[in-house]
Chain A
Amino acid sequence: MKAAVIVFPGSNCDRDLAVAFRKAGFQVDMVWHKDQGLPEGVDIVGIPGGFSFGDYLRCGAIAGQSPVMKGVAAHVERGGYALGICNGFQVLCETGLLPGALMRNAGLKFICRMQTLSVETTNSVFTQNYDKGQQIDIPLAHHDGNYVIGAEGLAALKAEDRIAFRYVGNPNGAIDDIAGVLSENRRVLGMMPHPERVIDANHGGTDGWAMFTGLTQALVAA
């Protein structure tokens, strides 16, 4: 099982994500944003949190145009898995690999704290090891997590059961309390909270761990 973690200038959760993948049994390659493609045989691409390119223009906008993102798009088109966390979610929206956009938090403040989420679907490799409706505590650390999508797009997300997580108590103004969404084929997940930061009891929680065990199980079975 092989994971690739993309590193942009300004990424700062890349190593945390690599630690989580390794703990789940993945061989991890760190892939610089200027690389033209992904290493051979990558099962999942992780797009980490941080402030790629200093959030210039819009969060994730410049990173979305990086050379490596062509390889990521091709991987996703082939049906490969991808996980975008925080800035990674913003990058996936900017490239159109996930629908919607992330705006400045409604309260305008940077939010950095633990947040309760509700697991809204178990129909994905990322969420299969949770229970539907289960409440989990995952840390937030973002300034632009206010998820926006048009009425049609929102209706599609709901009808297709593609809302992965909702906030319990909306911290940032996100439409319909949405904290994370799945792609049409359910193999790409973008979310603002940081599951990779809660995989070890010594770091304050383990509610993110089931996401990584879910991935491992799916890929071992495949």
Chain B
Amino acid sequence: MRATVTVMLKQGVLDPQGEAVRHALGALGFDGVEGVRQGKVIELDLADGTSEETVKAMCEKLLANTVIESYSISMG
């Protein structure tokens, strides 16, 4: 089975990389890009029966730094 974890900077935390991407898109002529936020996607191949609770624990302990990042989990 597979779980997909998406880690993003929390709302309200300035994302300098996202801002740089937004500027670059503007420079390429893509108008109207009002905001870009950059995060990461982590795919986990897991033993069958691994619970979402376990994946949540992985996020809390390692995959996300909850001081600045939020995460979401998609199972299956």
Contacts and interface: CB of A to CB of B under 8 A. Distances in A.
Contact of A100 (B9, B16, B67): B67
Contacts of B17: 104, 108
Contact of B13 (A61, A93, A99, A103): A103
Contacts of A150: 67
Interface in B15-73: 16-17, 20, 61-63, 65, 67-68
A213 interface: no
Contact of B16 (A57, A93, A94, A105): A105
B8 to A, nearest CB: 13
Given A101-B68, A148-B68, A106 B16 contact: yes
Interface in A129-157: 146, 148-150
B75 interface: no
A150 B12 CA distance: 10
B16 A61 contact: no
Of B13, B16, B20, B61, chain A has the most CB atoms within 10 Å of the CB of: B16
Nearest to A96: B67
B25 to A, nearest CB: 15
A58 interface: yes
Kindly list the 4 A-B residue pairs having the minimum CB-CB distance in the complex, ordered from nearest.
Answer: A101-B67, A101-B68, A106-B16, A101-B65
Interface of B: 9, 13-14, 16-17, 20, 61-63, 65, 67-68
Given A61-B65, A108-B17, 5 more contacts: A57-B63, A65-B61, A99-B67, A103-B9, A150-B67
